[in-house]
Amino acid sequence: MLRNVGYKFSFSFIKGGNWYRCLLTAGYKDYKIPPTFDDVEFPERGKLKIMEKVPQLKGQETPIKMMKRLKDLRGPDLVNNKLVHKQYGLQALTPGYLRWGHLEMIRLMVNRNMDDRRMFAIWRIDPPWKPITRKGQGQRMGGGKGAIDHYVTPVRANRMIVEMGGTVEFDIVRPILESITKKLPLRSWVVNQEMLERKEMEEEFEEGVNQNPFTMEFLINNNMQSCQTWLGKYDKMWHMKYK
């Protein structure tokens, strides 16, 4: 704010028996230039479509019962962990099963609160496909596998769940997605492309700056304290970062 430059006006006023002079000055404000969203391509459907509760069977298919298959949850997601439109998204930090209720909640929260003229949203996960069986209440063990109770979508860590974009800044989209993170059965966070890149850079930097010569990779690969006897194959793969 530049003082005593430009036109100046003043007026006096009395308060509490004392005279005060108020000097009005004009200043120069440096407004930031807003970003242009020329690269943004809007998809055909801007809003999230309804996910089916039960997968549609084709022809004479019967509904199959599936084993627990925890490998669907285990480890990091190596494929769908990036943003397609390079704008904003919701990323899972821990694994979990998303049921139809969770997906409906996401759909309603996003579709109701977004401005479809300026924004769009897309699913990054499949509709529920994995059958989860349940036995009736009070039933004893045995008598075969239970009946299919519901379907879920398994989500691994670092998976993108929902992506949003448009001619808007991050602060407009963030509250919509933040309200979803509190209601999901897994830990997640709202990201933009810059945050993802910075996280990668920070991890690399921390590795370089760390003075400790002992890393998990080093201990495991060198079988320190004969740890290979009690380590599992996934510990050797992911160095205890994921279960």
Binding site for another protein (CB under 8 A): 2-5, 21, 23, 28, 30, 68, 70, 73-74, 94-97, 185-186, 206, 209-212, 214-216, 219, 225, 227, 230, 240, 243
Nearest distance from C-beta of residue 194 to another protein, angstroms: 15
* C-beta of 40 vs 227, nearer to another protein: 227
Nearest distance from C-beta of residue 6 to another protein, angstroms: 10
Cα torsion at 106, 110, 111, 114 (round to 10°)? 180
Q: Which two tokens stand for residue 233?
A: 């194959």
Q: Torsions phi, psi of 23, nearest 5?
A: -100, 120
* C-beta of 73 vs 121, nearer to another protein: 73
* C-beta of 53 vs 74, nearer to another protein: 74
Amino acid (1-letter code) at residue 53? K
* C-beta of 112 vs 233, nearer to another protein: 233
> Measured between alpha carbons, how far apart are the two ends of the chain, in Å?
56
* C-beta of 87 vs 188, nearer to another protein: 188
Nearest distance from C-beta of residue 9 to another protein, angstroms: 14
Nearest distance from C-beta of residue 22 to another protein, angstroms: 9
Cα(182)–Cα(106) distance, integer angstroms: 11
Nearest distance from C-beta of residue 124 to another protein, angstroms: 20
Nearest distance from C-beta of residue 188 to another protein, angstroms: 13
Residue with tokens 């006897």: 229
* C-beta of 45 vs 198, nearer to another protein: 198
Q: Which residues contact 32 (CB under 8 A, 6 or more apart)?
A: none
Inter-residue contact 229 to 123 (CB < 8 Å): no
Inter-residue contact 151 to 55 (CB < 8 Å): yes
Q: Where are the beta strands (DSSP E) in 145-201?
A: 147-155, 160-166, 188-192
